[in-house]
Structure 1
């Protein structure tokens, strides 16, 4: 698989049989690659994760990604012609650095050392859809730091995902950019579901939020106030709040801001259960439509 993802030409990578792949070092991808594990049971586990760095047009589909650990301080191949020194990676499931046009769809992710999906350093045009997240602390980070203003270009859609048991926070945690959170099912969090800093625009539409029984964790949202940053556009539109959940809206709700954080039409929150019933790795058979 490493040989395939580093090639220069576009490739659609499929798998012949079930397998567990334990990566000794990060799997560094080249542009125009699709990893498609439909029809088999493929786990990326117990080693490094996937790195999408300064490349474009990537699809990750149908993988079980779990138990990723820090790796690095080693030479890693990133193209047919280049080996480069990599410092220690954090142990993310999927890491994006300066990447664009990335679709992460129908994967099952759990229990990595750092984030399950992290996108930083001006990454944009990202869709995170139909995934199943469980048993993790800091789930999704979108944005490098409060001072890294290049992340203002970030546009991310988070749609039709199931945020399940054992999750603590960062579903998502974002900075600076524009984020459309649409028709997801949030059935568990221990601290908060959606957080941010550095004036992001968050458009939450048609989601279902089921608050934990803990009376101190009913709020869906968490704001981290940065010095000199007080403009917030966070809105909840048609979300279903259960078990005492509530969403702290703020900002002027400027049409131009929300236009950048609107990527598809939201369905009513009453049908979220149906929309997310196929979240995670699909059960497919070769020769049949999936």
Structure 2
């Protein structure tokens, strides 16, 4: 263990007086004429149906479970732990992954019954191995600075109905599991799972992907997240030969793909992907890519290319048979704003019925995203105020 990590862990265990020293998620860079804030003193409708559903409620703390009624897109049926009791995490430790202590996140997230998991204070949780979250769980960090960092992070394996909200996930690393096998070092790994909603998280600097969904996972919404400082951001699809991903459906909405991102925002295989009302800023290789004939509907996004003349293209295909193959794939851009030379290469049948099948939500005009600062990533929610 490095001397830096030893010092860091010492600070976490000595006194709550060190809470102010916890690293905080980076603020979203200002790029419009609006105010830069992840919290609002007053509240009005924004046109973002998720945020408009709950963020104006001053009593959000008492009405936490109303969040489960606010999802849109393919993951809209995820109820998380709505039917269960509240469980408060009071212990940031993770001493024994096989026999987790009551009060820890691992203990709560691995229980058999539905639970809505909240936190009693700011905390940085450094795990010894990834937590394999069970079905019908909500991990809700609102009201505190809750981080999962500097160790393995979260895995969803053969589960359903999981909501992950308002958590700062960063510096995730691979690790051996007590019962065999290894985690990859993803921020959030989704395998053979469905009805998943990841909302208002900040993710950066993980060993593998920030969010990966593979192995036949489906009905997923990834929304309002701030992603930055990472290479391979998001993989959706196991491999080109795994036909089980043909039924994958993922909505990627209202996210901010920020500074220091290289590629895979997302990288898709097979399946159906609705990419709507996101902001992409200065990717270093490409923004949206894929192989194995995925259907991609890019709608109402803002793509801001860097000044590098070689990274203006939004899209990238990987095809064994070259252009003749990928030109049949249905990739469509509708109502996107292309700035600083950005361009999207469409393919396939623009009027394909597949686009109707995959229209998971109504897109706002991209022009509105250029005048309203994105309220993404973790939120600084205050008691008795709109969040």
TM-score w.r.t. the length of structure 2 is: 0.71
User: How much has 1:118 moved relative to structure 2?
Assistant: 0.2
Q: Deviations over 1:181-211 (max 9, x none)?
A: 0000001200000000000000000000011
User: How much has 1:105 moved relative to structure 2?
Assistant: 0.1
Q: What is the distance in 2 between the residues matched to 1:179 and 1:148?
A: 17
Q: What residue number does 1:79 align with?
A: none
Aligned runs of 1:125-136 on 2, under 5 Å? 125-136=219-230
Q: Does 1:285 align with 2:374?
A: no
User: How much has 1:276 moved relative to structure 2?
Assistant: 6.0
Question: Contact 1:161/1:276 (CA < 8 Å) preserved in 2?
Answer: no
Higher relative contact order (CA 8 A, sep 6+): 2
Q: What residue number does 2:244 align with?
A: 150
Question: Contact 1:146/1:226 (CA < 8 Å) preserved in 2?
Answer: no
Q: What is the distance in 2 between the residues matched to 1:263 and 1:14?
A: 29
Q: Deviations over 1:107-145 (max 9, x none)?
A: 000000000000000000000000000000000100000
Q: What residue number does 1:80 align with?
A: none
- SS of 1:14's equivalent in the other structure is strand
Larger radius of gyration: 2
Q: Does 1:51 align with 2:130?
A: no
Kindly tell me the number of residue pairs found equivalent between the two proteins: 280
Q: Deviations over 1:238-260 (max 9, x none)?
A: 00001100000000134421123
Q: Deviations over 1:5-36 (max 9, x none)?
A: 11111100000000000011011011000000
Aligned runs of 1:93-132 on 2, under 5 Å? 93-132=187-226
- Aligned mate of 2:143, from 23, 39, 42: 39
- SS of 1:179's equivalent in the other structure is strand
Q: Which ranges in structure 2 are unaligned for 5 or more consecutive residues?
A: 1-104
Q: What residue number does 1:163 align with?
A: 257
Q: What residue number does 1:183 align with?
A: 277
Q: Does 1:260 align with 2:357?
A: yes
- Aligned mate of 1:243, from 307, 315, 340: 340
Q: Deviations over 1:188-235 (max 9, x none)?
A: 200000000000000000000011111111100000013595430000
- SS of 2:108's equivalent in the other structure is helix
Question: Contact 1:181/1:205 (CA < 8 Å) preserved in 2?
Answer: yes
- Aligned mate of 2:331, from 211, 234, 237: 234
Q: What is the distance in 1 between the residues matched to 2:182 and 2:111?
A: 24
- SS of 1:283's equivalent in the other structure is coil
Q: What is the distance in 1 between the residues matched to 2:196 and 2:302?
A: 25
- Indicate how the Cα distance of structure 1 residues 185 and 28 shifts in structure 2: closer, same or farther if over 3 A, else same: same
Q: Does 1:62 align with 2:127?
A: no
Identify, as 1 or 2, the structure richer in strand: 1
Question: Contact 1:160/1:275 (CA < 8 Å) preserved in 2?
Answer: no
Q: Does 1:206 align with 2:300?
A: yes
- Aligned mate of 2:125, from 3, 17, 21: 21
TM-score w.r.t. the length of structure 1 is: 0.94
Question: Contact 1:64/1:281 (CA < 8 Å) preserved in 2?
Answer: yes
Q: What is the distance in 2 between the residues matched to 1:113 and 1:33?
A: 25
Q: What is the distance in 1 between the residues matched to 2:345 and 2:375?
A: 30
Question: Contact 1:110/1:135 (CA < 8 Å) preserved in 2?
Answer: yes
User: How much has 1:286 moved relative to structure 2?
Assistant: 2.7
Q: What is the distance in 1 between the residues matched to 2:289 and 2:196?
A: 22
Q: What is the distance in 2 between the residues matched to 1:276 and 1:19?
A: 28
Q: Which ranges in structure 1 are unaligned for 5 or more consecutive residues?
A: 76-84
Give RMSD over aligned pairs.
Answer: 1.3
Question: Contact 2:330/2:352 (CA < 8 Å) preserved in 1?
Answer: no
Q: What is the distance in 2 between the residues matched to 1:41 and 1:212?
A: 32
Q: What is the distance in 1 between the residues matched to 2:293 and 2:304?
A: 26
